[in-house]
Chain A
Amino acid sequence: MPLHRHIAAALIATAAFAASAQDNVVYHIDTDMAQAVKGLRNVRNHLDVDPSAKITVVTHANGVDFLLEGAKDGNGGAFAGPVSALVARGVKFEVCEITLRSRNLKKEQFIQEANFTPSGVVRLAKLQVAGSAYIKP
């Protein structure tokens, strides 16, 4: 009975979907501090609503600035606190190493929570091919 087989297949598909309930999401920060503020707020709200989400924040170009030691937002608030709070909730922050070379930055200038990736854009592509949702705040 083809119809029965279809229903069975649909049920199995639903079960498989339910089993992988964890969403992988990548946030892309590459512009400025204002984008970082907005992005961190988005990530925080994202985890409030869906605590199981696996979030990676990929930064390059001027988007790496908020991960520098002592970085402050427009109102003078430090970024280090909110960033380490998100790291404690499982968020991973990654900095593009090509940006380090082109802007003459050193890894030691970044907060200790920061991770590094050889290329921000390659990382964005790989994560999306591997099934991550892409959000650009």
Chain B
Amino acid sequence: MADPMRIRAQAAGDKATVRVLMSHEMETGQRKDSAGKTIPAWFIQEVSAAHNGKTVLTAEWGPSVAKNPFMQFNVKGAKAGDKISVSWVDNKGDKRTDEATVS
């Protein structure tokens, strides 16, 4: 199981800014190790975010996203106390979901 995501959600006006820091190797499949063997690809493929359980964002990612990805987005109508959850699935089928409360 991968390390938890770090999520911060801050309300300002009629929207909340959500910042997510994911912990993932994001290996492209193009690199070789010191023995010359290809390091297998391992990256996040699907990302989604939900506001109080309702999906507000979905994204398809590929191997060109850097290690430990950072993602930021705004959610319209989110206010303090609301729940924001973020999920990802990688190409090995590993998945992770974490939740934060808007402050």
Residues of A within 8 A of B (CB): 84, 87-88, 108, 112-113
User: How many inter-chain residue pairs (CB < 8 Å) link A and B?
Assistant: 14
Between A and B, 14 residue pairs with Cβ closer than 8 Å are A84-B68, A84-B70, A87-B68, A88-B66, A88-B67, A88-B68, A108-B8, A108-B103, A112-B6, A112-B8, A112-B19, A112-B21, A113-B6, A113-B21
B contacts, CB < 8 Å to A: 6, 8, 19, 21, 66-68, 70, 103
Give the dominant DSSP class at A's interface: helix
B3 to chain A, nearest CB (A): 11
A113 to B6: give the CA distance in the assembly, Å: 8
Instruction: Report the Cα distance A72→B67, complex, angstroms.
Output: 24
Bound together, the chains give a CA A113 to CA B83 distance in angstroms of: 22
